Amino acid sequence: MSKKIILLCLLLIVVFGTFAEEKRIALVDFVVHSRNPDYEFLGKGISEMIAVELAKSPGISLVEREERVELLNEIKFALTGLAEDKQKQIEVGNMLAADHLVFGEIVDMTPQLLISIRMTEVESGEVVFREKLAERPGSYEYITGYFASAILDHFDVRVARSTEKKTDEKQEKKEEAVVAFSRAIEAYDRNEEEEAKKELVEAKKLEPEYEAAQVYLEKLVSNTAKFRFLPDAYYFYQNPAMLGGMKRDRFFSGATLWTGTFYYMISGDSHYLDLGNSNYVGEGNGPGRVGYHFPVGSKGWGVGVEFIYSHFSDKYSDTTDFENNNVTEGRHYRGGALGIGKKLDLLSLGLSASLFQEDNSEWGGDVPEEQIDRAAYALSAGLFYPADSFTISSQVGWSSATYDSINPDTLDTEFGRETPLFWQSVLVWALNPGRTFLVMNQVSDFYIEEGDYYLRLMPVAEHYLSRRFSLRAGLEGSLAHLQGSDQLGYGGMAGFTWIFPESGWEIDFNINYRLRPSRVLRGELYPDSLYSLVISKEGIFIDN
């Protein structure tokens, strides 16, 4: 037998042996004997903190709290008296597919708590482990580290260093923190996520290094697919229908990174269109946004206000570095947008309107007076349908804004060309809610007067590697009908989201590449690179 086969067999033995030795444990909420109302849910908090410590060690498979609570609620199974009923223990253990059940009791012996636990083997119903400890409530990390280490030692399983640290460095912490955490677990079991988050934030405020509270804060993060089509400067940032049913306010800023959301897009001089006659076109754009979206009342209304700024720098030159520009366009948009959304029984509807100044004063050629400084507006309407595993969003928009193009043969400029009618539809499917998403995004531009159109289809996949961090990537295919001819385009995108659940901050970053209709040259596709960074904060003033 070759050495490779022997090594492979040994590896398989180790791998399967590891899985075979894995112990599946279910913790039952501890029974509390106390007249102190603050300790009412302490049994939930202490048992769940022990579970957090056990989950760190390989060789242990825990029955997740969500799984246990959901299953027992479905069959209306009461845990009362479970610690004394061997037959009931076997029944519950088998339902949870657990090898062992851990029970505990907490007796209030002010100023100390007497905590005792025992573990039974499901198959036989026999008690295989017992331990007890008397400590002050503020020593909750030492208590949970002590019991977790004892259980792991029983199975001869490695104890995580952070768990050992809790027992080695016995510290007295604020009792109010573990009380708040215990109330959070009770709210979590009732699916009252906002109440649970409120208590967890309080626990973290009292004890910033509260590890179990951090674990549950990350569980409560409502993950969604973050890929969005980046709208033109004059449109509202998102489908206004998504304002309907908002629970928290959201602020974003394009001026400073640390106060909200910074939104920036670069598409430009690193890419250029080679006309094949020693002439080149470069097109750049840098929009910024400042906005605040918030719920209104309790009837499903939401409102958003935004300030919009954008600077276009489109160039036509006989050199690729564009140092000696034959024609340069410098155009600015400055204005604001208002969006309103309303959640109905099955879906949400929304409208938005933008009003802005269009300034063409930096255009290199002779600009008609009416085009130098003019007011323009944009309107959009949308609908949003959320279901259990998918959402559908659709939006249409129209703007009176204009743009200008160049005739490369004569260098004449055509001013005041129409902005296309815009239509976007997005289907988001959650494969396993909160973790993996498939997105199908279609965006269409219709140039009504010219009879042209630009159609894009973008499939995107996104996966949360943790409750804090996701990665996404996708492709883009496009069909452009310009000046009577059809052209196919391609592109792609990649990005990530980084969430800070304890503070409400979130970072979204996307890179896009595409071939789009040139703003400067009619009938041509332009290679466009876009880099977008969004930093946002939710729940600043409103957290329903």
The CATH number for 176's domain is: 3.40.50.10610
- Residue spans of alpha helices (H) in 211-329: 211-219
Residue (of 383, 180, 463) closest to 188 by Cα position: 180
Q: Is residue 233 one of the residues assigned to a domain?
A: no
Contacts of 352 (CB under 8 A, 6+ apart): 235, 236, 240, 304, 337, 338, 339, 340, 379, 380, 381
Decide if 88 contacts 107 (C-beta within 8 A).
no
3 state SS of 25:
strand
Q: Mean per-residue pLDDT for 466-493?
A: 92
pLDDT at 408: 64
Cα-to-chain-centroid distance, residue 399: 31
Clarify whether residues 409 and 517 are in a common domain: yes
Distance (Å, rounded) from C-alpha 346 to C-alpha 350?
A: 14
> 170: alpha, beta or left, given left = phi > 0 and alpha = psi -120 to 50?
beta
Domain interval for residue 208: 3-219
Quickly tell me which residue has 């209304």 as its tokens: 301
Clarify whether residues 184 and 322 are in a common domain: no
The CA–CA distances, whole Å, from 510 to 238, 311, 494, 507 equal 16, 20, 6, 10
Residue 256 has pLDDT above 50, yes or no: no
Q: Is residue 179 one of the residues assigned to a domain?
A: yes
Convert the pLDDT of each residue in 271-297 to its tens digit.
677 766 667 787 877 778 889 999 998
pLDDT at 146: 96
Distance (Å, rounded) from C-alpha 29 to C-alpha 70?
A: 14
pLDDT at 368: 63
Q: Mean per-residue pLDDT for 155-174?
A: 91
Clarify whether residues 154 and 253 are in a common domain: no
pLDDT at 363: 56
Q: Is residue 230 one of the residues assigned to a domain?
A: no
**Is pLDDT larger for residue 386 or for residue 76?**
386
Clarify whether residues 213 and 271 are in a common domain: no
Q: Is residue 224 one of the residues assigned to a domain?
A: no
Residue 198 has pLDDT above 80, yes or no: yes
Clarify whether residues 274 and 127 are in a common domain: no
Q: Is residue 231 one of the residues assigned to a domain?
A: no
Distance (Å, rounded) from C-alpha 318 to C-alpha 276?
A: 11
CATH of the domain at 474: 2.40.160.60
Clarify whether residues 378 and 514 are in a common domain: yes
Strands 100-109 and 31-33: parallel
Domains in the chain: how many in total?
Answer: 2
pLDDT at 68: 77
Convert the pLDDT of each residue in 69-97 to its tens digit.
776 665 545 555 565 666 777 777 788 88
Residue (of 487, 472, 477, 470) closest to 522 by Cα position: 487
Clarify whether residues 304 and 428 are in a common domain: yes
Residue 264 has pLDDT above 50, yes or no: no
Q: Note the pTM of the prediction, 2 decimals.
A: 0.66
Domain final residue pick, 185, 219, 253: 219
Convert the pLDDT of each residue in 293-317 to its tens digit.
999 987 889 999 999 888 777 777 7
Residue 17 has pLDDT above 50, yes or no: no
Clarify whether residues 284 and 351 are in a common domain: yes
Clarify whether residues 180 and 296 are in a common domain: no
Clarify whether residues 170 and 53 are in a common domain: yes
